[in-house]
């Protein structure tokens, strides 16, 4: 029964994707849609194969800038989240500023970053970081702030310091929130890196797509989109696996209740 | 002790004086909202008194007492720790165990295991809280409150969320634990049968402001069998205490 369940889970998305591509192909052929409007999947895969060298090259750049930005965001978000969750004064002071900063569209920041650091990978890394650290901060702070007061009483009655309570209860308790936010953050970091590349860069999938668009190479644009989708899924899956590995207790607990 | 400020302040407790002997089991009963839990927070030093002083063993209490073990209605076990690691938690915090915890971990572990076994949890020590029933979780919670050998064990309606049969089982577990270790216990409850069955002395509190209206020695000889709750003498005490609490009928 478990194997059947597994088969359904693995096979269903694959079957659905293939079906989607087939319908797409059929529509393009039946209506004779011009290549410059909507290329058929066969054209896209053809472009993907033909231009595989530059595509792999640029994907690599996008991947590492995303990961670099994401790692910085993780470290920064964790530290800031603990700080914000630690004390109410810090929360009151920092939180509104964070919300304000987060509401600035990051596309608008990219030109400034390019001005400061020049065209290259650094603006992409920084955009990925800036766009993705906010959910981590919010989640870690929420996890810390929602520690049960009775549990805190148990520990305080033992003479536990604030630091003890954080170490023994607060931080382990907020780990599911933290890992949950990583799934959101990795997706955002990816968006940040690609956005930065499309505004101004000399490498990356975003840049490749921009160039292809300028040259009316629409199949390459779509090939770029396809690569982005695959990379996005891979990054999300990797983070979800890390989450399941470290906070299994949170999910098993729910499954048994 | 009061909650709130100014005219709107609610006085939770007024002029309460309790004397607990070493090794005594006392129970505090009263209607809901009479300040039983506040009294417990006061004694454990979690909440400073507004006026007057609080002395425990002749010492003025100004901060949390280290020699207190607490358990609540909700077991509050940490879901990412196995039962035994939950029990070990206080030892990671309280001095002097804290300093020697890493070095003597095996020794502490066998102590925790023995404690869990004494409340009937042999074979469940390596389980996670969600793998335990409500009664087992509560037993674990009480073990956690006892592992560091506190001077006083404070229980705030520890069996309130359990079904009647499990509750009686745990009464007996607590009775045996207390008899064996001679630990001083303060039990806050609204279950009069529970109070009379377990305690040497029952204090009855009235509400708003909470004050103690009666101190009643139970006087039923120990060891007490669960059968005792069906005796006429037991019923009489419960009836008498019920009369003191009042309420509409």
What CATH number is associated with residue A126? Answer: 1.10.3720.10
Nearest CA in chain B to A157: B64
Which chain B residues are within 8 Å of A172, Cβ to Cβ? 78, 80
Global pTM reads: 0.74
Cross-chain residue pair A168–B65, CB shorter than 8 Å: no
Domain that holds residue A1: 1-32
Which chain A residues are within 8 Å of B148, Cβ to Cβ? 158
Number of domains in chain A: 2
Extract the tokens encoding A39: 């290329």
Q: What is the mean pLDDT of each run of 10 residues along chain B (249 residues)?
A: 43 68 87 76 73 67 71 87 91 82 86 88 89 91 88 88 87 89 89 92 82 84 87 91 76
Kindly state whether residues A100 and A122 are assigned to the same domain: yes
> Residues in chain A with pLDDT < 50?
253-257
Kindly state whether residues A87 and A213 are assigned to the same domain: yes
Give the pLDDT of residue B247: 64
Distance from C-alpha of B59 to C-alpha of B61, rounded to nearest angstrom: 6
**Which of B79, B81, B143 should one mutate to test binding to chain A, selecting the residue with the greatest count of A CBs within 10 A?**
B79
Nearest CA in chain A to B98: A160
Among A85, A50, A61, A82, CA closest to A212:
A50
Task: State the CB neighbour count (10 A cutoff) for residue A207.
Answer: 23
Kindly state whether residues A63 and A1 are assigned to the same domain: no
Give the pLDDT of residue B190: 86
Distance from C-alpha of A104 to C-alpha of A130, rounded to nearest angstrom: 10
Distance from C-alpha of A194 to C-alpha of A210, rounded to nearest angstrom: 11
Kindly state whether residues A20 and A119 are assigned to the same domain: no
Nearest to B76 among A148, A160, A256 (CB): A148
Give the pLDDT of residue B51: 67
Among A175, A188, A177, A174, CA closest to A236:
A188
Task: State the CB neighbour count (10 A cutoff) for residue B168.
Answer: 17
Kindly state whether residues A59 and A132 are assigned to the same domain: yes
Give the pLDDT of residue A251: 67
Kindly state whether residues A64 and A22 are assigned to the same domain: no
Kindly state whether residues A17 and A62 are assigned to the same domain: no
Is some CB atom of chain A closer than 8 A to the CB atom of B133? no
Kindly state whether residues A26 and A49 are assigned to the same domain: no
Give the pLDDT of residue B199: 92
Kindly state whether residues A215 and A103 are assigned to the same domain: yes
Kindly state whether residues A28 and A52 are assigned to the same domain: no
Kindly state whether residues A118 and A186 are assigned to the same domain: yes
Kindly state whether residues A65 and A135 are assigned to the same domain: yes
Give the pLDDT of residue B79: 87
Give the pLDDT of residue A37: 86
Ramachandran quadrant class, A186 (left: phi over 0; alpha: psi -120 to 50; beta: rest): alpha
Distance from C-alpha of A121 to C-alpha of A124, rounded to nearest angstrom: 5
Give the pLDDT of residue A25: 93
Nearest CA in chain B to A247: B80
- End-to-end CA gap in chain B: 30
DSSP letter at A257 equals -
Give the pLDDT of residue B50: 67
């Amino acid at each position: 029964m478990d194997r059947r369940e597994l088969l359904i889970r693995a096979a269903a998305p694959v079957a659905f994707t293939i079906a989607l591509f087939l319908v797409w192909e059929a529509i393009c052929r039946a209506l004779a849609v011009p290549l410059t409007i909507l290329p058929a999947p066969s054209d896209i895969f053809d472009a993907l194969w033909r231009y595989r060298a530059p595509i792999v090259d640029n994907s690599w750049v996008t991947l590492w800038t995303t990961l670099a930005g994401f790692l910085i965001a993780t470290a920064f978000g964790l530290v800031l989240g603990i700080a914000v969750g630690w004390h109410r004064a810090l929360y009151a002071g920092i939180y509104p500023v964070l919300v304000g900063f987060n509401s600035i569209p990051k596309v608008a920041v990219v030109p400034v970053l390019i001005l400061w650091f020049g065209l290259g990978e650094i603006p992409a890394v920084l955009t990925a970081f800036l766009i993705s650290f906010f959910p981590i901060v919010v989640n870690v702070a929420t996890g810390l702030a929602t520690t049960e007061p009775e549990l805190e009483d148990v520990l305080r009655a033992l003479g536990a310091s604030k630091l003890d309570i954080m170490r023994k209860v607060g931080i382990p308790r907020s780990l599911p929130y933290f890992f949950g936010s990583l799934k959101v953050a990795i997706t955002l970091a990816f968006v940040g890196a690609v956005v930065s590349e499309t505004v101004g860069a000399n490498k990356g999938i975003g840049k490749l797509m921009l160039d292809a668009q300028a040259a009316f190479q629409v199949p390459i644009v779509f090939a770029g989109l396809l690569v982005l989708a695959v990379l996005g899924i891979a990054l999300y899956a990797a983070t979800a696996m890390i989450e399941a590995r470290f906070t299994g207790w949170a999910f098993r607990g729910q499954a048994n209740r | 002790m009061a909650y709130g400020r100014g005219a709107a302040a609610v006085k939770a407790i007024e002029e309460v004086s309790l004397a607990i002997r070493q090794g005594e089991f006392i129970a505090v009963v009263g209607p809901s909202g009479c300040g039983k839990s506040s009294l417990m927070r006061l004694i454990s030093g979690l909440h400073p008194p507004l006026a007057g002083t609080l002395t425990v063993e002749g010492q003025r209490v100004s901060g949390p007492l280290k020699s207190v073990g607490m358990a609540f209605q909700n077991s509050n076990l940490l879901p990412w720790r196995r039962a035994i690691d939950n029990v070990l938690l206080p030892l990671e915090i309280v001095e002097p165990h804290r300093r020697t915890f890493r070095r003597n971990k095996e020794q502490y572990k066998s102590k925790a295991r023995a404690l869990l076994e004494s409340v009937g949890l042999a074979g469940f020590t390596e389980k996670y809280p969600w793998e335990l029933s409500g009664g087992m979780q509560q037993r674990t919670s009480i073990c956690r409150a006892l592992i560091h050998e506190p001077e006083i064990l404070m229980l705030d309606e520890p069996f309130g969320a359990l079904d009647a049969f499990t509750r009686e089982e745990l009464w007996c577990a607590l009775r045996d634990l207390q008899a064996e270790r001679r630990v001083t216990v303060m039990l806050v409850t609204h279950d009069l049968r529970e109070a009379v069955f377990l305690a040497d002395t029952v204090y009855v509190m009235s509400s708003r402001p909470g004050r103690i209206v009666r101190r009643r020695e139970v006087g039923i000889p120990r060891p007490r069998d669960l059968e005792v709750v069906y005796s006429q003498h037991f019923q009489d005490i419960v009836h008498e205490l019920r009369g003191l609490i009042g309420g509409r009928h």
